[in-house]
Amino acid sequence: MLTVVIALGSLVLYFVAYHTYGRYLARRIFRIEPERLAPSEEFNDGVDYVPSRRELVFGHHFTSIAGTGPIVGPAVAVVWGWVPALIWVLVGSIFMGAVHDFGSLIISMRHKGRTIADLASDVVTPTTRVLFLLVVLVGLWIVLAVFGLVIATIFKLYPSSILPNILQVPIAVALGMWMRRGGSLLIGTVVAVVLMYGSIVLSANYEWAQITLSPVITNVISPVGFWTLVLLAYVFLASVLPVQTLLQPRDYINSHQLLIAMGLLVIGLVVAHPPMVAEAVRLRPEPARPGGFVPPFVPFLFVTIACGAISGFHCLVASGCSSRQLKTEADAPMVGYGAMLTEGFLAVLVILACCAGIGMGTFDPTLLTPIPASPALGHEYASVGGTLTGVVAWQHHYATWGGEAGLGSMLAPFVIGSANMIESIGVSHALAVAIMGVFVASFAATTLDSATRLQRYVIAELAGARPDNLCSASVCGSCGCSVRGLASGTRCPECNADLRRPERAPQSRLAGVVGNRYVATSIAVLTAGALALSDAPSVGLTRAGMGGLILWPVFGATNQLLGGLALLVITVWLVRRRIPAWATAIPMAFMLGMTGWAIVGLMQQFLLPLSSGEPVKWHLVVVSALMLVLELWIVIEGVRVLGSRSARTPTSAQGA
C-alpha cells in the first residue's frame, strides 16, 4: 500500500500547497491585480496576442511545459533510488518550479508579454538580455532537434501511437473553428476527447490502422529522419498560424486526454497497489560499461530531474506564450502555479510506474532460461518465458547507469510500468500500451510546437524586433486617440481606422525582416533540421536523424541554468519594487549553485578520454564552458545591479 499512500498523499500535498503557498505568492509576493489591462487585450493581434479563457490557456500551458521531461528525467534518476527522486520532485515543484513559472508569467504580463529573456534588459542590464537570449537560443535549438527524435522513437517502438497523433491535428482545427463560432466549450471538449480516445482504440485493435513506412521512403531516408522532417513541417505551420487556430485547441484537447490517462494510472495504482521493487536509496550505481562515467548523486539529480521539479524551459512558455493569452492576472495562479503542480504529480506517477509498476512484469525475448528470484525485498519473483517480475524486473532496467542507453530504454520502464497498472483495471495490454505511447508522443509534440513558436520570438528579439514594435492597440495609429481595451479588428471610434494594423514604431531593416514570423520560423526550423540530420555525412541518410543527440548531454544543465537565470531576473524585479524576494532568491541561489557545479562536472566527464588517449568530444567541452561563462557573467550583472542604488527604485521603463 506504500505506492497508494505516496500517490494520494502527493495529490493532497499539492492541493494544500496551491491553496496556501500559491495564494501567499499571489497576494504578498507577486501582488496580482485582476483589474490591470492584460497584454492579450492591449495588443490583441489575432495571432499571438489572443484573449482566451483560462481553461484553454491552462491546457495549452500544461501540455507545453509537460513534455517528455517529467517522464525521462525521473525514469533515469530513480537509478539513485526512489526516495531522493520523490523528495526532489515534491519540494522542487512546490517551492521552486511553481514559483519560477508563476513569477515568469506575472512579470511578462507586466511588460507587454515580452519573454523574460528579452525584458532582462529593463530589469537587469542590456548585456544580460543578450547573454540570456543566447542561452535560450542554444537550449531551444537542442529541444527542437531532440524532441522530434523522441516522437520518432515512440512511433518506431509503438506504431499504434502514430494514427492518434496525426488525427489530433484535424480534431484540434475543428475544435478551434467550433469555439470561434461561439460553440459550447463543454460539448466541443467531450466530442474532441471521445474522438481522440476512439482513434487510440482503433489503432490499438486493428493492424490496418497502424501506419508503417513504405520501403520507397526507408530506402531514401531513415524512419527517424523521415518523421523528424514531417514534424518540423508541422511545427512550422503551428508556429505561424494564429494561436487559436491549431496550437491552443490542440494543447487543450491534449490536456484532457493526458489528464484522463493520468487518472487511469491513479485508478490502476489503487487497484493493483504494486509494492516498491526499486531500492529506496542507491547513491553509487554501477557504470553501464567498464570505465564508464556515473554522475554523482549531487548535483546531477537536480539537473537530471528538471520538468516535474523545476525547468528553465517553463519560463519561456509562461512569458512567451501564456502571458499573451491570459485575459486577466486573476487567471495567473491557476496557469502559472497550478500547471506546475500538475506536472509535479505526473512526475510522481512516473516514479511509481518505474519503481513499482515495472515489477508487475516486463518482457525480454532474449531470456531463454529462467532467472532466479531475488530475495532482496522478500518477494518470490523470477522470469517465466522471458517475462521478468519484481526486483529482477527493476534490476533489468536499472542495474547500471542508463543515462547513455538511448531514448528507447529511458522511456520503456515508464511505458511498460504504466501499462501494467492500467491493465489491472481490465484494459487490454495492447490498448494500455497504445494509451501510454500516445501519452508520451503527445506531450513531446505539444512541447515541440510551443518551442518552435518560442524560438521564433527569440530569433526576432535577438534581431531587435520586440512585441511592442510589432503590434500596439493602446493608441490609434492614425489619429492618436486612446483605444486602450478595444479589441484588435475593431475600428477607431474617432477616425474609423482599422485597429488590426496599427502604425508600427520605427525599427531596423534587419529587425523588420527577421521579425517577420515566417522568416523567423524558417530559421528556427531549418537550423533544427540541420542539427537533427547532422549525422548524415558520417552514417548516411538512411541511418540519419540522431544528430540532435550530439548536444543532448549538455541540455539538462543548460535547461536548469535557464531556470536559475529566470529566478535571478524575477528576484531583481521584486527587489526593485521593495517586495520581499526570499521566495525567489533562495531557489535562485540553489539552482545556480547546482547548475554551475553540474557544468563543471560535465566538463570533467567530457575530458576523461584524455587520460586514455581516446578522442575528446571538444564540441561538448566548448558548449559547457560557454554555458559556465554565460552563467557567471549574468550572475555578476545581477549582483552589480542589486548592489546599486537603482535596484531600490523602480523606473518607468520597468513597469509597475
Tell whether omega for the bond before 299 is within 30 degrees of 0, i.e. cis: yes
Res 381: pLDDT = 41
The pLDDT of residue 602 is above 60: yes
DSSP β-bridge partners for residue 498 = 491
- Report the chain's terminal Cα–Cα distance, integer Å: 51
CATH architecture of 2-38+53-465+507-654: Up-down Bundle (1.20)
Task: Give the mean model confidence (pLDDT) for residues 547-566.
Answer: 88
387 membership: H or E segment, kind and range: strand 387-388
The pLDDT of residue 560 is above 90: yes
Question: Rounded to whole angstroms, how far apart are CA atoms 350 and 372?
Answer: 27
For residue 492, name the pLDDT band (cuts at 50, 70, 90): low
Grid cell 526516495 in the structure block, residue: 83
Please check whether residue 135 is in contact with residue 630, taking contact to mean a CB–CB distance below 8 angstroms: yes
Task: Give the mean model confidence (pLDDT) for residues 626-650.
Answer: 80
Task: Give the mean model confidence (pLDDT) for residues 594-614.
Answer: 88
The pLDDT of residue 158 is above 90: no
Please check whether residue 455 is in contact with residue 145, taking contact to mean a CB–CB distance below 8 angstroms: no
Task: Give the mean model confidence (pLDDT) for residues 535-547.
Answer: 87
The pLDDT of residue 459 is above 80: yes
Res 39: pLDDT = 92
Q: 618: Cβ–Cβ under 8 A, 6 or more apart, which residues?
A: none
Cα 262–chain centre separation: 17
91 membership: H or E segment, kind and range: helix 82-92
Task: Give the mean model confidence (pLDDT) for residues 588-617.
Answer: 89
Q: How many helices (H) and strands (E) does the chain have?
A: 28, 2
pTM: 0.85
DSSP string over 180-237: HTT--HHHHHHHHHHHHHHHHHHHHH-GGGS----HHHHTTS-HHHHHHHHHHHHHHH
Higher pLDDT residue, 286 or 304?
304
CA atoms within 13 A on the CB side of 461: 28
Q: Which of 85-89, 155-159, 174-178 has the lowest mean pLDDT?
A: 155-159
Res 292: pLDDT = 66
Res 101: pLDDT = 97
The pLDDT of residue 105 is above 50: yes
Task: Give the mean model confidence (pLDDT) for residues 263-286.
Answer: 90
388 membership: H or E segment, kind and range: strand 387-388
Res 502: pLDDT = 43
Task: Give the mean model confidence (pLDDT) for residues 428-447.
Answer: 85
Res 26: pLDDT = 96
Q: Which of 61-65, 93-97, 549-553, 561-565 has the lowest mean pLDDT?
A: 549-553
The alpha helices in 488-577, defined as continuous H runs, are 509-514, 517-532, 536-539, 555-576
The pLDDT of residue 488 is above 50: no
Res 501: pLDDT = 45
Grid cell 501510454 in the structure block, residue: 436
Q: What is the pLDDT of residues 187-233, one digit of tens each?
A: 999 999 999 999 999 998 888 778 888 888 888 998 888 988 898 99
Res 535: pLDDT = 87
Q: What is the pLDDT of residues 323-379, one digit of tens each?
A: 999 999 999 999 999 999 999 999 999 999 999 999 898 765 544 444 444 444 333
Q: Is 222 exposed, middle or buried (0-12, 13-18, 19+ CB in 10 A)?
A: buried
Max avg pLDDT among 46-50, 546-550, 596-600: 596-600
Task: Give the mean model confidence (pLDDT) for residues 472-493.
Answer: 51
Question: Rounded to whole angstroms, how far apart are CA atoms 313 and 334?
Answer: 18
Res 555: pLDDT = 85
Res 545: pLDDT = 82
How do the domains of the chain map onto residue ranges? 2-38+53-465+507-654, 466-506
The pLDDT of residue 482 is above 90: no
